[in-house]
Chain A
Amino acid sequence: MVEKRLLDIRNLDSWYWPIQILHGVNMHLNEGEIVSIIGPNGAGKSTVLKNIFGLISKRKGHIFYKGKNIIKDKASDIVKKGITFVPQGRSVFPSMTVRENLELGAYIKKGDIEAEMKEIFRKFPRLKERQSQKAGLLSGGEQQMVAIGRALMLRPKLMLLDEPSLGLSPQIKKMIFEKVVDINKNEGISFMIVEQNAKISLSLSDRAYVLELGRNKLDGPGKQLLKDPKIQSIYLGGGV
């Protein structure tokens, strides 16, 4: 199988002035892959995603998407190129209904979006039941489904998820990750996922990167990293 690079990050330096957060980070994602980024708190994982999405102004290096350098693009340009972003935390529009939240996911699209809406409701039947409720009144898991559903409305090529399981119960976590794998398999959407829960994310990822203090530390196929003794001792709860 010939792998096609969808995303290629080369030598990325990034600052929250005056502090340099990322130091020469290299990462890539092939079409159809699920790639995760793990690492301790403050390592710069969210900063990598924000860079891809054009949300960081002070930076150097290259980010190629489908072979084109997108380092100068703003978030509004990036969305149009088929990348969507589910940021960390509860990122719904709380005073708007579930349906309105989903509609807004296709904000930049002209024309009918009923087919997309139906599709989201098929994937998350729970959201169909709750469609006229205010998103802010939903449970944490349901809100995360809204955020993911909203990011799916544009039928993106690549989705960036920042800690999608944060603060959710184990069953909901599992359900969210199963959906991700499902969407990846059936629709060919690629995912770049930042996750604290290394065990789940490594086991479902094609490949993964370990980031520490803003630098590449390790990378490889998810299942291989899962067996790596260093990873086991640091991220999987100590080599007991």
Chain B
Amino acid sequence: MSIVAQLIANGIIAGSIYALVALGYTMVYGILKFINFAHGEVYMLGAYFAYVLAKVYHVPIVAAFIISMILCAIVGVIIERVAYRPLRKSTRLAPLITAIALSIFLQSLALLVWGSEIRTFRTGEISKGHNILGAIVTDTQLMIIATTIVLMLLLWLFIKKTKLGKAMRATADNLEVAKLIGINTDRVIATVFAIGSALAAAGGILIGIEQNLEPTMGVTIGIKAFTATVVGGIGNIWGAVVGALLIGLVENIGIWFIPSGYKDAIAFVILVIMLIFKPSGIFGSGREEDIRAQGE
């Protein structure tokens, strides 16, 4: 086993999860210019929905996975409809405050319903590892990477090839003109929330299988995925994926140099550095003014 290979493998695995969550932030921002800070909680809900389905109702795991993604898509659509849409014409601060309130509400709700104890999908035996280029990677971890790749490919096909996917890009480019050519932009926005939430749910379930579940699990992941989004250039879909992999790698390689207790702080430091020096992201999306405006 090689330490470097192992750290890189761990970085890619963590980065995959961050990417699944980051996509929701960046797609919503791309259209509405607003950061949905309740997104991490959808990730948490996804994990719990699948957990309850699999453990309480004994639904096969693959089915539980898909049903949970669908449920979270519905939750995302409801959140947009009830919490954000009525505020679309208000100041930028209003939906931001609503998002934070919603995030606290969903965490409390999860605490109430499922309790504070840490839960896990695992049945006991840790799946055995494979030696891949010197890194030990378990079946579960391989599944995380494979699932992420499949979901990204599906997303790419959707955005590139389907009519609704094109309408989504057009709406992100210019919402007003999108309306002029007859695109139902409300429907596009709902779709974006549905897709983003389903992907976040997938991330939550994968982490639930690999590690464990708790009602506050959406908080740190939220910050990391948001950082990934900023690194990749907020609003830029594939930038968020690259940003997520980078964060995963930097975090895991970073603990080679600093005590692993500081691992979660690395993303914060990157976030602050990016916001000060390069708020438009490494791909320089030219949307610097957007992210600055969030602070107004």
Contact = CB atoms under 8 A, between A and B. Distances in A.
Contact of B179 (A75, A93, A105): A75
Interface string A108-151: 10000000000000000000000000000000000000000010
A104 B183 CA distance: 9
Contacts, number: 54
A53 B170 contact: no
A108 B169 contact: no
B176 interface: yes
Given A93-B173, A96-B170, A107 B180 contact: no
Nearest to B171: A93
Nearest to A93: B173
Interface-centre pick from A84, A94, A104, A150 (highest chain B CB count, 10 A):
A104
Contacts of B178: 93
Given A104-B170, A107-B163, A76 B182 contact: yes
A94 B177 contact: no
Interface residues of A, number: 21
A91 B169 CA distance: 14
Question: Interface on chain B toward A: helix, strand, loop, or mixed SS?
Answer: helix
Interface residues of B, number: 17
B166 interface: yes
A95 B176 CA distance: 15
Given A103-B166, A104-B166, A150 B181 contact: yes
Contacts of A150: 181
Interface-centre pick from A80, A91, A95, A103 (highest chain B CB count, 10 A):
A95
Interface of A: 53, 75-76, 79-80, 84-85, 87, 91-96, 100, 103-105, 107-108, 150
The 10 closest A-B pairs by CB, nearest first: A93-B173, A108-B182, A79-B182, A93-B170, A91-B177, A76-B182, A107-B181, A85-B180, A107-B182, A104-B170
